[in-house]
Amino acid sequence: MRILDSVNTAIFEGRVAWDAIDVEAARRSPELLALLREACLVESWFPLHMSELTRLLFDDLEATAIFTIEAFEAYGHYYLLRRYLQHVGGDAPTDDEVVALRRSGRGEAPTDIVRELVNFMGTELFAADFFETIGARSEEPELSRMLSRFAREELVHSDFAKGLLQRMVASDPEVVRRVEEAALGFEHLGSYVLPSLSNAKRDNIALIQRFSRAIAEITGRPLSDAILAEQPGDPDDS
């Protein structure tokens, strides 16, 4: 066994009771397996994106620790989702697909750390909800268990990004405007590498409200204030 295989096994394999997986139950929900395949692809790219963010904040010990933890846990999600799909006979991403995804990325390194942290914070909120929703819909109990752990980790990752942004606002109030601009132009990080993303459920209103509340916790004012400030003035005012 290659050394990487044995380390992957030592770290991750024990997190899932492979023999307890109800393969038939898993295969009864191909639409959920397709969603997991998409998540697996996005997670496969996350550690690379974190290394780009690390370059932007290389002398910030808290930020680089956060990016390192995020990269490791995203790698764990990718590894276990792929192993799960292989185990139940789903359409697991291949090595070639993972490499192709990396090459299909934007090709330009990010430069605006505030925008990247807002996108990161929101994406992790969406990811937590995505995993929670699939876990709740799954008839296969081991998958539900695995995804509820992923969801908890994603919430921590989102809070990590929120904490970094709150610290930036505390040292420079001008960051508030940049956070709001980024929130209004929010891009899911998955859209950096995939042409389209699937929703785990139809109605994402509650999730969008949750994102707006998180933004308000950073800026100290409702995001609606920023939306109103963007509107053209009342013609009678002139």
CB of residue 153 to Fe ion, shortest distance in Å:
6
Dihedral over Cα of 56, 163, 176, 74: its sign: positive
CB of residue 88 to Fe ion, shortest distance in Å:
23
Q: Could you tell me which residues come within 8 angstroms of residue 157 by beta carbon, excluding any fewer than 6 positions away?
A: 69, 70, 73, 120, 124, 127
CB of residue 120 to Fe ion, shortest distance in Å:
8
In the bound state with Fe ion, the residue whose beta carbon lies nearer, of 84 and 120, is 120
Cα gap 185→182, rounded to integer Å? 5
In the bound state with Fe ion, the residue whose beta carbon lies nearer, of 116 and 124, is 124
Secondary structure letter of residue 93 according to DSSP: P
In the bound state with Fe ion, the residue whose beta carbon lies nearer, of 25 and 98, is 98
In the bound state with Fe ion, the residue whose beta carbon lies nearer, of 42 and 169, is 42
**Taking the CB of residue 67, how many other CB atoms lie within 10 A of it?**
28
210 within 8 A of 162, measured Cβ to Cβ: no
Cα gap 38→17, rounded to integer Å? 23
Which residues in this chain contact Fe ion in the complex, by CB under 5 A? 124, 154, 157
In the bound state with Fe ion, the residue whose beta carbon lies nearer, of 161 and 176, is 161
Tokens 């053209």, residue located: 232
CB of residue 151 to Fe ion, shortest distance in Å:
10
CB of residue 125 to Fe ion, shortest distance in Å:
10
